Amino acid sequence: MMRTLIFRTVAPYLTSLMLVFSVFVLLRGHNAPGGGFIGGLIAASAFAIYGIACGVSPVRRALRLHPTTIAGIGLLLGSVAGLISLFDGVPFMTGLWIYPHFFGVEVPLATVMLFDFGVYLVVTGTITAIALVLEEREGE
Amino acid sequence: MIMHAPPLADWLVIAPIVLCIVVGAGLLCVRKTVAVHAAIAIAGLVLLVVLDAALLWHVANDGPVTMTMGRWLPPFGISFTVDLLGAVLALVSGIAALAAGLFGLVDVDDSGKRYGFFPFLFLLMAGVSGSFLTGDIFNLYVWFEVLLIASFGLLVLGSEQGQIDGATKYAFLNLVATTLFLIATAYLYAIFGTLNVADIAEKARAMDDTAPLATLGTLYLLAFGMKAAAFPVNFWLPASYHTPRIVASALFAGMLTKVGVYALVRTLVMLFPSERAELAPVIAVVAVLTMAVGAMGALAQSDIRRLLGYVVISGIGIMLVGVAVAGEGGIAGTVFYMAHSIVVMTALYVAAGMAARAVGAPLSITDLAGLYRSHPMLSALSLMLFLSVAGLPPFSGLWPKIMLVRSAIDAGSSWLGAAILVNGLLTTIAVGRVWVLAYWQPAPTPGMRREKPALAIEPGFWTEYLPLIILTGLSVVFGLFPEAMVSASQQAAVGILDPASYIHSVFPAGAVP
């Protein structure tokens, strides 16, 4: 835990900015560089920064779920994304699309995206779990 | 693109893997709530066995089944192709995992469960099932990594110093082996431009003399030999298998080395048969030395877990005889022996764990004594397993050994058959020593050698006797009614030696790229 005033003041804003950016990178990843893995790394570094600035327990409180639980949910989402194709009569992991309209704007949604979101959660959860444990050890 | 809808039964191809991942992920989410682990895990393992059995039934009736992910056409999409070999091994490992899961309920304490024993068990099974069911060689590498990572977790489940020491050796040497596997696969991709097993099988037969396949075969032999713990790259196994919780040892001894042998059969025998023929003398020598090292090590050890580790190694030597001899009989013998070994080695470790718990002593044959008098049921089951692993009738070890010895003699290398028989004798002596000292020898009278231990726990039926009875029963059934297993392994061997039906399942009706 670093007790510099500037860092501790900036860290919450930096963390939220990085989390928003990680979601942007995740969604951008379908057609451009980015995706669940790199997005998850950015999110995990956001939590790590918050942990360095303010200590590990505020991060754990803010996350509500244990990081490995987040990883578990991500793994479940990824598997479910693959299984959806069972109901459409196509092989496992086939990308399926729906095009709902929100306020007149067509928003394409895909099982691929769901899978990528699962990857995002797995990476976020795993790396955050490791980072938080390492930071805790350092604080001892 | 694949335009027709896959029949529902074809989903069985990936069902065991998806089930393991989903249940594992679910258990990971409730890692700290230990109370619900038992119900979820056992239900998941029972379902795994049911799915594996259904898959075997489907494959036995309809031949190899393929599902290619994401509607891509093979060889571009990742195919999962299940033939009889993969289906049989997946079912047998599923049963072994169920037994180990039941035993794990009592063998792993609450802190071990919170640490994630059951999620690791399911991820291990995802890796093992994935290795047996995949039809893509890079995907096989991925499943190897999955089962390796899960096994690292199981190895250090307790964070004792000895475990960290064992895990370091295990992790380092296995990572070397998987890296070799990866290098060989990169090399293979450079030669063939494809990773689909069926596609490679076809191309390798066409370009037999024009490609440097001998190098490739040697690399795979080294990489998978290391995974299977064949001599001279077997030293990681005795260095690590005695350190983890005994249920983890049971899982490892049952399945992990067999995955290595399976991969060896899949690559060397099915993909590169002529290179295998060139390497056959090397494999034969390796097989004999592995048997020798295993049997000698087993004779020299007094810690039961270390002793069993060497018994695993000597079994690997016996399986390698089949790979060295090849031919229908040899491969069939190896397949049968793999199934036998998965069942019996898991059971032996479970029995050893029960014995240690029942006496409350460490697992050394000099400390255990008088089990025959105090626990006759456990002793009877253990004796059956000892006879089975030594290859004596009427248990499951006998038939695959007969098949292997016979095929070795038929192939003109009787010395390989002789080696199996001598190994059987030495294994009998080694496990006989355990029987005589730990079971038969009367317990020392109280006060003479040690006080009544405080930690002795009477084995329960559901979590200890039941898994042991399941596995021993399977060994007895394989021994008394071997016809089904013999014909299944012979058909599996035919499918490996002539992969036409395997290729046809991936590329139906000449849809070759």
The answer to whether B119 contacts A72, with C-beta atoms less than 8 Å apart, is yes
d(CA B69, nearest CA chain A) in Å: 5
What pLDDT is recorded for position A139?
62
What pLDDT is recorded for position B454?
56
Q: Tell me the three-class secondary structure of B351-406, residue by residue.
A: HHHHHHHHHCCCCECCCCCCHHHHCHHHHHHHHHHHHHHHCCCCCCCHHHHHHHHH
DSSP letter assigned to residue A131: H
Number of A–B residue contacts, CB under 8 Å: 60
Q: Please give the single-letter amino acid code of residue A62.
A: A
**How does the average pLDDT of chain B come out, rounded?**
90
What pLDDT is recorded for position B511?
52
Rounded alpha-carbon distances, angstroms, from residue B206 to A27, B250, B279: 45, 42, 20
d(CA A4, nearest CA chain B) in Å: 35
DSSP letter assigned to residue A84: G
- How far is Cα B10 from Cα A137, in angstroms, rounded to an integer? 49
> Which residues of chain B neighbour A86 with C-beta distances below 8 Å?
11
A68 vs B2, B18, B31: nearest CB: B31
Cβ of residue B183 closer than 8 Å to a chain A Cβ: no
What pLDDT is recorded for position B446?
57
Q: Please give the single-letter amino acid code of residue B273.
A: P
Tens-place pLDDT, residues B402-442: 999 999 999 988 999 999 999 999 999 999 999 998 888 88
Residue of B nearest to A87 (CA): B8
* Interface test mutation site (partner A, options B13, B71, B81, max chain A beta carbons within 10 A): B71
- How far is Cα B487 from Cα B482, in angstroms, rounded to an integer? 8
Task: Give B508 or B380, the one with higher predicted confidence.
Answer: B380
The answer to whether B31 contacts A69, with C-beta atoms less than 8 Å apart, is yes
Residue of B nearest to A126 (CA): B28
* Interface test mutation site (partner A, options B20, B28, B117, B123, max chain A beta carbons within 10 A): B28
Q: Helices (H), strands (E): how many in chain B?
A: 22, 2
Tens-place pLDDT, residues B57-109: 999 999 999 999 888 888 888 999 999 999 999 999 999 999 999 999 998 88
d(CA A124, nearest CA chain B) in Å: 14
Tens-place pLDDT, residues B108-165: 888 889 889 999 999 999 999 999 999 999 999 999 999 999 999 999 887 788 888 8
What pLDDT is recorded for position B372?
85
Residue of A nearest to B7 (CA): A89
Cβ of residue A86 closer than 8 Å to a chain B Cβ: yes
Cβ of residue B368 closer than 8 Å to a chain A Cβ: no
B18 vs A68, A79, A89: nearest CB: A79
Q: Are B25 and A76 in contact (CB under 8 A)?
A: yes
Average pLDDT for B344-373 = 85
Q: Tell me the three-class secondary structure of B395-437, residue by residue.
A: CCCHHHHHHHHHHHHHCCCHHHHHHHHHHHHHHHHHHHHHHHH
- How far is Cα B399 from Cα B385, in angstroms, rounded to an integer? 15
Give residue B453's pLDDT band: very low, low, confident or very high (50, 70, 90). Answer: low
> Which residues of chain A neighbour B71 with C-beta distances below 8 Å?
90-91, 94
d(CA A53, nearest CA chain B) in Å: 28
Domain range list for chain A: 5-139
* Closest CA relative to residue B41, chosen from B49, B466, B11, A78: B49
Domain range list for chain B: 8-445+460-501
- Above 70 in pLDDT, residue B482? yes
Q: Angle at CA B456, nearest 5°, toward B452 and B459?
A: 140
Rounded alpha-carbon distances, angstroms, from residue B285 to A55, B232, B327, B330: 60, 11, 18, 16
> Which residues in chain B (123-152) have CB-CB distances under 8 A to chain A?
none
DSSP E strands in B76-201: the ranges are 79-82
Tens-place pLDDT, residues A105-124: 888 888 999 999 999 999 99
Q: Are B496 and B85 in contact (CB under 8 A)?
A: yes
* Closest CA relative to residue B266, chosen from B501, B513, B512, B499: B499
- Above 80 in pLDDT, residue B449? no
Residue of A nearest to B9 (CA): A86
Cβ neighbours for B219, distance < 8 A, ≥ 6 positions apart = B180, B183, B184, B187
Cβ of residue A68 closer than 8 Å to a chain B Cβ: yes
* Closest CA relative to residue B51, chosen from B96, B79, B20, B6: B20
What pLDDT is recorded for position B510?
56
Write the DSSP assignment of B194-258 as a string of letters.
Answer: --BHHHHHHHHHHTTTTS-HHHHHHHHHHHHHHHHT-TTS-THHHHHTTSS-HHHHHHIIIIIHH
Give residue A94's pLDDT band: very low, low, confident or very high (50, 70, 90). Answer: confident
Cβ of residue A87 closer than 8 Å to a chain B Cβ: no
- How far is Cα B346 from Cα B353, in angstroms, rounded to an integer? 11
* Closest CA relative to residue B118, chosen from B26, B213, B220: B26
The answer to whether B21 contacts A73, with C-beta atoms less than 8 Å apart, is no
Tens-place pLDDT, residues A9-63: 999 999 999 999 999 999 998 888 989 999 999 999 999 999 999 889 999 999 9
A69 vs B14, B24, B28: nearest CB: B28
Q: Are B72 and B1 in contact (CB under 8 A)?
A: yes
